[in-house]
Structure 1
Amino acid sequence: MSLKLSKKAFDDVLKDLGKEYKIYGPIRIKGEGRFSDTDVVRYGEVSTVDEIEVHEKAHFSPKEILFPITQTLFYFTEGAYQEPKDEEKKLIIFLRPCDIHGVTRLDQVFLQNGDDKDIYYERLREKVKFFMIECTEGFDNCFCVSMGANKTENYAAAIRFGEDMLLDIKDETLMDTFRTKGETVDFQPQFIQENSVKVKLPDVEKITTEIFEDDMWKEYTQRCIACGRCNFVCMTCSCWTMQDIAYDENGNNGERRRVWAGCHVDGFTDMAGGHGFRKNYGDRMRFKTMHKINDFKKRNGYHMCVGCGRCDDICPEYISFSSCINKVTELVGEERK
Structure 2
Amino acid sequence: MPSARILLRSLVLTGLAVGLIAPATVAQAEPSAAELTQQINKSSSELEKVIESYNKLNEQIKVTKATAAQLAVKLGPLEQQATQSRAEVTALATKAYKQGNLRTADALLGDDGAESLLDRLGTLDYLARDREQRLADLTASQQQYIDQKARVDATLAKQTAQAKELEAGKKKIEGEISKLNETRRKVYGTASNAGSKYTGKIPAIDGDAGKAVTFAYNAIGKPYVFAADGPNGYDCSGLTSAAWRAAGQSLPHNAEMQRDRTTPISRSQLQAGDLVFYNNLSHVALYVGSGKVIHAPQVGESVTLASVDMMTPQGFGRVG
* Larger helix fraction of residues: 2
Indicate the structure whose relative CO is greater, using CA pairs within 8 Å and at least 6 residues apart: 1
* Larger strand fraction of residues: 1
Larger radius of gyration: 2
TM range (shorter): under 0.3
Q: What TM-score does the superposition give when structure 1 sets the normalisation length?
A: 0.25
Q: What TM-score does the superposition give when structure 2 sets the normalisation length?
A: 0.26
